[in-house]
Chains A and B, each alone.
Chain A
Amino acid sequence: MPEPPLLRHKRYEADGVPLSRAALLELLSAVHEKGADFRFRATGTSMYPTIRDGDIITVSPIRGVEPSAFDIVAFRNPENQQLVIHRVLALSPDTFLAKGDNSQPDGTIPRSDLLGVVTKVERNGSRLFWPDKRRYPFLATVYFPTVYWYLMMRKRGYGIILKLLGKRSGESIP
């Protein structure tokens, strides 16, 4: 006698991370093929502090949204065929450069591996301020580079600026 047929509701709380990154990639592609957005729980810290482990993110199909530098996108890592959510740093007609806000650069990725744009982020049940590029293109174009440069300044820039200021001050002292 076979096991009775069962439809099981998988829940993050009960099952932990229910799918591998490769499985996530396949599901995201299948959902996007139907023109729908894909909402899932992010894992990892490579985009910290912009996206944190456990945040719920929504990735919209790339159709109708032209990605630009500093957008946060979903793409297929060509080396291991896994889903990655990182920031675009530069684009050419055929490739783009990406990097996590808290990780090393990913290198050059073919544009054909670009899957979608992150259009919504939720943390602890609240929606973060995150302008949806489809509805507020101008705001998104201003907001994401500003956030990126702020993060980079906070991470590295302060030290350099303070050193420069200190050196200039020192030089001005007779």
Chain B
Amino acid sequence: MQELDMDARYIPSGNIVAREIEGELIIVPLVSGIGDIDDELFSVNETGKVIWDRLDGKTSLTQVVQLLADQYSVSRQEMEQDVRGFVGELLKRKMITDARASPASS
């Protein structure tokens, strides 16, 4: 898995559509000007959505881990492992970008 900078702040990529629909967070990547839900439709579970909501370009991953560890009363180490896995997957699929590298967020 790619190494994550836990001090980085991430934001949703401009090349996705993310909507909470019928209680579920749905993400559709836009590839070559097409939102293709037949091949590329993703859903995020409730815990994932809590993390997603904090990828606002202002909160570092370290802060996200701390917030969630407090919220769910779990160890910081355990939460960091979960956040790393989830954020790594989002990065792999280019659904989020480093806010420092993306001044023009959408």
Task: Give Cα A26 to B20, complex, Å.
Answer: 10
Measured CB to CB, the nearest residue on chain A to B45 is A6
Inter-chain contact B33/A18, CB cutoff 8 Å:
no
With contacts A39-B37, A39-B38, A58-B34 known, is A34 near B43, CB below 8 A?
A: no
Chain B residues within 8 Å of A126, by CB: none
| B residues contacting the other copy or chain, number (CB 8 A) | 37
Measured CB to CB, the nearest residue on chain A to B51 is A5
| A residues contacting the other copy or chain, number (CB 8 A) | 32
Interface of A is mostly: mixed
With an 8 A cutoff between CB atoms, is A164 at the interface?
A: no
Binding site for A on B (CB under 8 A): 17, 19, 21-22, 26-28, 30, 33-48, 50-51, 72, 74, 78, 82-83, 85-86, 89-90, 93, 95
Binding site for B on A (CB under 8 A): 1-12, 18-20, 22-24, 26-27, 30-31, 34-41, 56, 58
